[in-house]
Each structure stands twice: as structure tokens, then as C-alpha cells.
Amino acid sequence: MAVVSPVPAIAQRADSLRVHDIAVAGTMTSRQEIAEESVARIIEDKIYVAVAKDVKESKSTVIWTVQHSGGKKVCIIHVHQPAQMIPLMGTKFPASSLKEQEVWAYRKLERQNMQKILDEYLLICGRMGVRAEKLCIEMDSIEKGIVELIFQHGIKKLVMGAAADKHFSRKMVELKSKKAIYVRQQAPAYCHIQFVCKGNLIHIREGSLHGADVEIATSPVQANQHIETGSLNNLPLQSVTMRHNTRVELTNPAQDLLRRVRSANLEKHVKNRTDVSPSVNNGGLSSPNSRSDGEGNSYGWDGSSRGSPQSPGNLVSSFSDLALAPCLGTETSENGLDSKEDLHHSSPPSVLEGNMDDTLYDQLERAMAEARIARQEAFQEIVKRGKAEKNAIDSIRRAKASESLYVEVSKQRKEVEELLAKEQENLRKMKNQHDEVMEELRIALDQKSSLESQIAASEHMVEELEQKIISAVELLKTYRKERDELQTERDNALKEAEELKKKQGEASSTHVPEFFSEFSFSELEEATRNFDPSLQIGEGGYGSIHKGVLRYTQVAIKMLHSHSMQGPTEFQQEVDVLSKLRHPNLVTLIGACPEAWALIYEYLPNGSLEDRLSCKDNSPPLSWQIRIRVAAELCSALIFLHSCKPNSIIHGDLKPANILLDANFVSKLSDFGICRLLSQDRSLSNSTQFCRTDPKGTFLYMDPEFLSTGELTVMSDVYSFGVILLRLLTGRPALGIIKEVQYALDVGKLNNLLDPLAGDWPFVQAEQLASLALRCCEMNRRSRPELQSDVCRVLEPMRASCGGSSSFRLGSEAHFQPPPYFICPILHEVMQDPHVAADGFTYEAEALRGWLDSGRDTSPMTNLKLEHCNLVPNHALRSAIQEWLQQH
């Protein structure tokens, strides 16, 4: 039996321990290098994000990139597309048509704006705690510029928009942007691209490392696991290949050890073929307690011999496997050692039987224990390094956040400094302004003192003027007293003149006096409180109408406007007509103001018939009795006008707006501005007398024959009177009213057209009025009825049946009832000498003086205290009463 010397075995085991130490050291060095390289890669690796020139459009893409960056640096890339059309002087010109200097200036402005936009993106990253860079390029095509940047800078990770945010939907899975589709197709294969839209990941194009620089993509732990899972006998001696083309080089001692292990295994295999006894179990080590009785039996560690001694190659193989196990990070089981514990408790090889030094064996055991301790310390060191890597990454992230915060704070500090400088400049300006204001104040104080002296002088002058005013007032009172005396003398003279006229028989109608007074414009201003808009009661084609108190009498003042359609001719005509006419149903003209082209009428409180028919200002509607009385009174006034001598008067503008109502709803015809005078010819009837004139008036009430021929006759007033009758019956507008009433009469439905606001019309009278009105509205003037012979005979019985007194009678022997305003409220008789009291009412002078002389100081009508006891003669009313007495 061959005896193996223990020295080579011990040397081999020592070599194995050295190889183990070298492998552990190599593993630690390799892991340290990989960890440092990993930290450097995390620090230097960048994520590129493509942005547009509109910050709102790409803001969500940048925010998504920063949130998913994992602490890596972010680089903003932008492709600037120079404008082809350059704005200049309010329009745009092609760049090729402008001067090079102008194009260069505009390009410079574009680049400055582009840098401002990129700074806004950097500010967004800084606020989120990530340090960012910017990278830009100028190209005519944005998508080609992005691909060019990828090639130039070797970009491996890119984020860009999949489409505009407005195109985003939850079902969106494909790219909708032509630029994104182009970049996905044309970008190099090693570039990993993520496409997002409105903060949502839409598509990913995976990148491949083929064709690019090789990167270490696995951690040291993954590399060890890869080595552990493989068989060392099947690996090449030069290197161990890992995934992602990662190569971990083994140290030279490890290569030598592996080579020696393979040689020893080969020798052991050959020797087992020739020398090993059948009792050897698979070429492995015998159990330490096994024994054999025969010659070929093996013995244990008690000093007996083995049947088949361990070969040196087998021993080297065992120690080699033990040495490689710590290097590769796992236990070996190829040569009979199942675990670390098997090696520790296994018996020494048979070649050392009885000859191996115990001291040397103990040293070997201690060396193995120290190797195990070193391996554990190396593992703990790797764990510590991993924690250090994580802490380094956190520190880098915090450093980036601090750097961004520092930039923000620096920017804010700069802004505050600029603001402070502006405030200081403003303060300096305010100080200068304060000095100027103080100077102006001093000047103002000087002026104040001078003005105070002027005021003192003015006050003295005022006192003198007040004395003069008092003297002037006294003088004015004297003049007024003299004026009243002269007025009284004038009245007495008029009385005497009238008595002389009566005695001399000069009562002819051709010499009717003009009952007319003239007023000054200042009196009109005083009466209307300077034409206060609140006193305006009407507006017409002539002008505005104001309510006022003139010489203690309520009047209506009609002012001619500068833009009025009527002029001085119409003004003078109305003065000439109304100043000579008096009738209970004609408005009374009190006077005029030629200076302002103004007419002064008696005040009629119930407004116009038009206002009452439309119930203006929520006024109560007119009853059918009042409407019949108004129609009869209007007929009376027209008969009076048409029968005037020597000239018949045609009103020419009959309409409800020109018919006024007094306090007792007595109608009075007004507005004679466009009336016409006809010379009477006994050989011609009233229906054939006419005058040619231009059509004037209100279209809906105008005679159709007058419109077609221009011939104005008394029958033109009859046509207008017929339309007014229809309006009194129905309360409807004048447009189309003739056809409506005619149709209602034909079908027997007149009741449907009668105004319900007037009450229950007597159907027989209503039907008579409708028929009479339609006859007045005949197109042929010769078919219209005569007012005096036909119309009056229908209206007068109706008025009598309504309880109204007749204001006119046919025949020369009839007696007329005086108008109610001719009656004295105290005596209830027609007044001879009417005077106006302080309450605004007119009384007989003797009756009112007796009332006041009895000790009363109140009004006979209102029972309120009178402001004064002065009486003012009402000359206009006195003249009207005298004219009425002469006629009737």
C-alpha cells in the first residue's frame, strides 16, 4: 500500500486556504467596484424630457417625469423651430424677403423667448426638488430635431408627449401625435422612450443595449447567484459570463486553483479505474466510523489501515472545492462534501493516519475558522455598503432639493432687493413731492390771507348792495302799486268803452275784441320753476307742455321747440283763432309769450281723451255716458267752428290726443295750429267749399279724399269725427277699426267689439252710434252726413237720455246754459267781475270781499287758511263771460 507524505497534503491545504482568502478578497473587491460603479451610474444617469414652446402644453409631461425619475437628474430638451413669417409693421413677411439684419434681430428675440420658456420648465423642476438641465437645438422639423438630439448625446431614456392634453381619453392606447409616431420609428434601438399624455403613461418603446456601450445591469448579489446556479466544471477558465453581457473576471489564483482541481479530479478518475478497491463508494471519502474485516477493508481514524487510501488528487479536489465555496458564495457538493458542517466534522484523510502533527492540524482548523469569520465580515461589509449606497442616493436627492431651494431663495432675494430699490426710489420721489406740496401749501396760505382780505372787502360791499336792494324792493312795491292802479284805471276805461259800444250799437261780430294777454318769458320761468321736468304734462309735435301757476291761476304752458315741425306761422294762426273764439267746448287761450313762442291755456286736470281711453297712469276708464256726452260736445264745437263768419274754420287735425277733459270731464277741443279758413259763398254748400293745401295731420284720422286730391273741406273734419266715434265705442286703436266695425255689424256681432271698460252699452244706442260713425267714414265725402242736420239729431237725444244738459240748441230762440266756470262758487250766478283768490279759485269780486270782510280768512272751496287776502282780476275769464253774454 502506498503511503502518501503528509507534507504535500498540508501544503496543498494551505494553498487552498490562500486561494480561499484570495477569492474572498477578490469577491469583496469586485462587489465594492460594482457598488461604486452603481452609485456613479445613478448619479450621472439622466432622464431626458422633450417639451414644447407652450408651457401649459408640456407642464403635465415634465411633472410626470419628475415624479417617476427616482431621484435621477432631469434634462429638458427642446427643438426650436425658427419662424418663416416675420411680423413687421402690423403684418408678416417671409424671412427671405427681409434684410439679414432684421432677420437676425428677430431670431435673437426668438432665442431669448425660448430661453425664458426653458427657465420656466427648470423652475417647475426646482420647485419639485429635482435639479434639471436644459438642452436645445434649432431645426425646421421638431421630430427630426428630437431624433438628432438622441443620436448626438446618446440619449437612452426619453419622455415625450403622446398627444396634446385636449385629445386625452381614458381609452387612449395609441399615439395620436405625428411627431411621437415619427420619433418612435426613427429613434435608435438603444433609446428607451415613454410617451405620456395629461399625466398618464400611454405607450412605452423598450430600448435594447445591442449596438450600444455595455453597462453593468446586475448587482453583486445577482452575479453571485448566477455563479452559484452554474457548475464550475462547465464554465470556461477565462471568465464567468453574466446576463446583459456583464463579465466578472476571476483572479489568477482562482484560475490556478480551478485548473489544479480539474487535474486532480482527472488523476483521481484514472487511479480509481486501476487501484481503488470495490469498497470505495463512488470515489468519495469513506465514513469515519466504517471498518472492514478483510484485506481490502477500510479502517477508521483509530489508526487501522484503510482498504483504499485517499489519493493526493482526491485530497486536493476536496480542499479545492472547499476553498472555492466561499468565493462563489455557496457550498459545494460535487466531491462528497454536502455542506460546511460536513467539512468541519469529517475525519482527516487516511494519508495522515498516525503521522500528521496535531499542532499543524489545529493551525489548519484555526485558519479555516478565520476564513469563515472573514467571509461573514465580508458579507456584512457588503450589506453596509448597500445601506451606504441608499443613504448616498437620499443625500444626493436632498442636496438637489436644497440646491433648487437655494436657487429659488436667491431669485426671491434678488427680486426683494430690486423691489426694495424701487421702493427707495419711490420714497425719494415722494419726498420730493412732499417738498413740492409743502411749497404749494405755503403759497396757498399766502393766497388765503389775501383772499380773506378780499372777502372782508366783499362783505362790506355786500352790505352796501343789500341796502341798495332794500331800496330797490321798496321802489318795486311802489311801482307795483302804481301798476295795479293803472290796471284798475284801464279796467274802468274798458268798462266805459264797452258801455259806449253798447250805446252806439257796435256789437257786430266783425269787431269782437281779442281776449288775449301777453306774458314775459321770466313770468313763464317763475310759473314753471324754470321749466321743471316734473311739471311737464305732455309732449307733442309743437313742443312740450308744462303745468304752472301764472298770476295765481293754474295754467298749461305750451313751448315751441327749436326742432318743432310747427313754426311761427302755426303759432300766430292759433293765437289769431283762439284769441277771437269763445265756446264751452273749445280750450280757452289765456295769453301768449311771443318772446319764447309760447301759448298759455287754461289747465285741464283730466288730460286728453287719448290718455283716458288707454287708462294712462292707471286712471279709471270713461263710462259710456261720458263718452256719449264727449261725442255730443265735440259735435257742438265742430258746428260752431264750421259756422263762424265771415270765414268757416276747419280744424284739420281731429284726434283723441287734441280733445282735453276738465275736472268735470267736459271736453274741449285744442291745437288749432294747422286749421284752415274758408270764405263762405252762399251759392255753394259747406260740402263743396274747400281749400287746397299740403296734407298735414295724423294719417289714421285724415280724410282719404283730402290725401288724394289735396282739397280740405268741412267734411274732412266729419271723417275724423267718425273715427273718433268708433274709438269711443270700441276703445281699440284707429288702425283697421272701420273694417272691423263694418264686419261686426254685417254679421251681427257688434257686442264683441264694444269696449267692456265703459260698462253695459245700450245696444240700440251703440248700434245707432256705430252706423252713424261708419256713415261719417264714407270714402266719398258727398255720402257723409251733415253735422248740424244729421249727426246732432242723433247725439242730442242720447245725451239727454244720459242726464246731461244740452250745451246747444237749434233755432235762434234757444237759451244756452253758461259753462260751469262762469258761475261764482259763492253766489252761484254768472260772474260780472271775476277775481282770483289765494286758493287759485275764481270768485265774484263783491262776494269774495264780503266773505273776507266778515272776518273769515279761509277758502270758500277748500276751507283751508288763505296765504293772503289779495285779489287778482281774471281779465281773460271776464272777457269770455262778456262775449258769451253778448252772443246769448
Positions at the binding site for ATP: 558
CB 535 within 8 A of CB 529: yes
Query: For 51-119, where are the E strands, in sequence order?
Result: 73-80, 85-88, 91-94
Per the annotation, binding residues are 558
Separation between Cα atoms, residue 494 and residue 490, nearest integer Å:
6
**DSSP letters along 540-582, please?**
-SSEEEEEEEETTEEEEEEEEPTT-SS-HHHHHHHHHHHTT--
Separation between Cα atoms, residue 411 and residue 455, nearest integer Å:
62
Please pick, among 653, 671, 703, 717, the residue that the annotation labels catalytic. 653
Separation between Cα atoms, residue 381 and residue 375, nearest integer Å:
10
Enumerate residues 6+ apart whose C-beta is below 8 A from 282.
336
Please give the grid coordinates belonging to residue 721: 269725427
Number of helical H runs and strand E runs in the chain: 21, 25
Other C-beta atoms within 10 Å of 828: how many?
A: 9
Return the C-alpha torsion angle 165, 171, 177, 181, nearest 10: 140
**DSSP letters along 305-357, please?**
PPSSPPPHHHHHHHHHHHHHHHHHTS---TTS--SHHHHHHSPPPGGGTTTS-
CB 329 within 8 A of CB 228: yes
3-state secondary structure 286-306: CCCCCCCCCCCCCCCCCCCCC
Separation between Cα atoms, residue 611 and residue 600, nearest integer Å:
21
How many angstroms separate the first and last alpha carbons of the chain? 187
**Smallest Cα–Cα separation from 646: which of 596, 689, 681, 671?**
681
**755 catalytic per annotation:** no
Q: How many residues does the chain have?
A: 888
Separation between Cα atoms, residue 485 and residue 514, nearest integer Å:
23
CB 50 within 8 A of CB 146: yes
What 287-291 contacts at long range (C-beta under 8 Å, 24+ apart), as own/partner pairs, is 288/346, 288/347
Separation between Cα atoms, residue 844 and residue 677, nearest integer Å:
37
Task: Respond yes or no on whether the N-terminal peptide bond of residue 82 is cis (omega within 30° of 0).
Answer: no
Edge-to-edge order in the sheet of strand 553-560? 517-518, 589-593, 598-602, 553-560, 543-550, 536-539
Pairing between strand 872-873 and 543-550? unpaired
Work out the angle between the directed axes of helices 792-801 and 763-776 (0-180°, nearest 10): 150
**Which residues belong to the active site?**
653
